[in-house]
Structure 1
């Protein structure tokens, strides 16, 4: 059975404590949340209490790769041990690298270097009993040696590494997201249920763009993905978008 979660990046513009946001997520009918950058404005104990009272699980967390490679980044000083400890206390067992710049996917050697980098992180996280996954945008679908760079990355990374396919960005990149999930069912653990206007190259509300949601959900079910994660990168009304996402995903799963 596939559960549904919301990527908290969708709600990042709201001036509210994360505990209040989790209450709204629970009211919307989600099974879980995917953390992103908003876990340090409340004590861990309060976040855990909010998850518990709303019946929410921690689906995963987006973590900049620098936080796992012990290189400080702006406004984020946590290194590997601190990052793993924080999310471990929140019950997160999958950490997702959410972004790498386009130049990492322009040449075969660059893609292979990313694969080696992810393999090294997977080794380190395996000791902590944490899974590593990678989330795409559209740059991962640049053609490298006659095939999308993402396919090369999947083929050259250890099978322990999962992939979180963002279907809206995959479509913008020129891929058929449902077919991509069907091709790599053993590697895709999470599916980002987003939608996109391909002509404009931007994400839109679920159901108003070019993604065939029913086909994507059917592929995710066939692949036995753990989570369908709703995300809108820049919603005009974040709470309404989050609530609509839950409704659309429940309808597609029925």
Structure 2
């Protein structure tokens, strides 16, 4: 498909409304050696020094596919970590890694809150962008049209937004879901997929609260004061055939929610997972990865997973490099019988 035709076909939403057909990601076959993916953000410091060597190291470790970060749109041209789409695609092909997913977000003002990664048990992470409104909706949709075309050129058919629009009430949340559904429809028309990745802020409640929208003459009822966990609101107000969820299981736990509960409550919605720990995967005992994988598979949703490390951690009591940390994390996943 030529790019011009691609963009033309992705311009308008279907006149018949949201379609119900499910377009699933291609599941990784259950065979040895395992197909283990990694979000290359895990080696971001290494990539700042050398792009090719660390990617080759991922291949040598045993990773078969990667999730990208660093996509940008500038002067009507897309790029990844400063490389043109053509050059970056060739770079990955030469290394022997398949790009199967990509993280990116609309060009709106960002507000970041970085915790300590949970090392003290008080970590929090929110990566937020400014509120979605009717005024900026056109800019958001145009960004995704171009991004879909660019990722078609990259050979990547799964796009994931890892940034939460600011929401202060249920009306904000409804508008976010509307834009998410429209974006997912654009992806469906392009024979691609679109999903959402969480941090910890998504597990806070939204809605009217006493002291904000309350006045003495109001009757305090559930209807008057609706509150709901934003992540649940997203799951119940987005179209399953258009929007999938890539749960970061570590940040769900840090948001005081159990990934397994969500897998059971919303079966089939979690096509991808980020597998993360406080340190190197499996080294802390903090995360029950066996339950996460077992229930993730059994509820019929899990198709791909990506290891991700926020911080390199330690190896043999010493600070690890990012490549040392991802190597040990790979070995943990490769040896775990509950990981397919």
The alignment status of 1:4 with 2:36, answered yes or no, reads yes
1:153 partnered with 2:218 = no
Describe the superposition over 1:43-102 as per-residue Cα deviations: whole angstroms up to 9, x where unpaired.
444433443355432221001133896749xxxxx944442232212221111011115x
- Relative to total residues, which structure has the larger helix share, 1 or 2? 1
Residue 220 of structure 1 aligns with which residue?
296
Provide the aligned C-alpha RMSD in A.
2.6
Of 299, 302, 311, which residue of structure 2 is paired with 1:234?
A: 311
Distance 1:218 1:12, change over 3 A: same
TM-score of the pair, normalised by structure 1: 0.83
Equivalent pair of 1:58/1:92 in contact (CA under 8 Å)? yes
- Structure 1: tracts of 5 or more residues without a match: 73-77, 197-203
In 2, the alpha carbon distance for the partners of 1:71 and 1:17 equals: 34
> Contact 2:137/2:179 (CA < 8 Å) preserved in 1?
no
Contact 2:54 2:323 in 1 (8 A): no
Taking the aligned partners of 1:239 and 1:166, their CA distance within structure 2 comes to: 21
Give the whole-Å Cα distance in 2 for the aligned partners of 1:143 and 1:133.
21
Paired residues, what number? 240
Which of 246, 250, 268 is matched with 1:168 structurally?
A: 250
1:244 aligns with 2:328: yes
> 1:66 is paired with a residue of what secondary structure?
coil
Alpha-carbon displacement from aligned partner over 1:86-126 (angstroms, at most 9, x marks no partner): 2212221111011115x42x533322221112012112222
Distance in 2 between residues matched to 1:176 and 1:228, nearest whole Å: 17
Structure 2 Cα separation of the partners of residues 168 and 209 of structure 1: 12
- Partner of 2:164, secondary structure, is coil
Are the aligned partners of 2:40 and 2:68 in contact in 1 as well (CA < 8 Å)? yes
Map of 2:264 onto structure 1: 182
Instruction: Return the alpha-carbon distance in structure 1 between the equivalents of residues 181 and 104 of structure 2.
Output: 16
Q: CA deviation at 1:194?
A: 0.7
Runs (5+) with no aligned partner, structure 2: 1-26, 29-34, 72-79, 109-135, 207-225, 314-320
Matches within 5 A, 1:26-45: 26-37=59-70, 39-45=80-86
Alignment of 1:56-95 (within 5 A): 56-66=97-107, 71=139, 79-95=143-159
The normalised TM-score by structure 2 is 0.63
Q: In 2, are the aligned partners of 1:26 and 1:56 still within 8 Å (CA)?
A: yes
Larger Rg: 2
Partners of 2:155 and 2:290 in 1: CA distance: 30
Contact 1:17/1:42 (CA < 8 Å) preserved in 2? no
Counterpart CA distance in 1 for 2:332 and 2:294 is 14
Match 1:206 to one of 275, 281, 285: 281
What secondary structure, in the 3-state scheme, does the structure 2 residue paired with 1:188 have? Answer: coil
In 2, distance between residues paired with 1:81 and 1:108?
Answer: 27
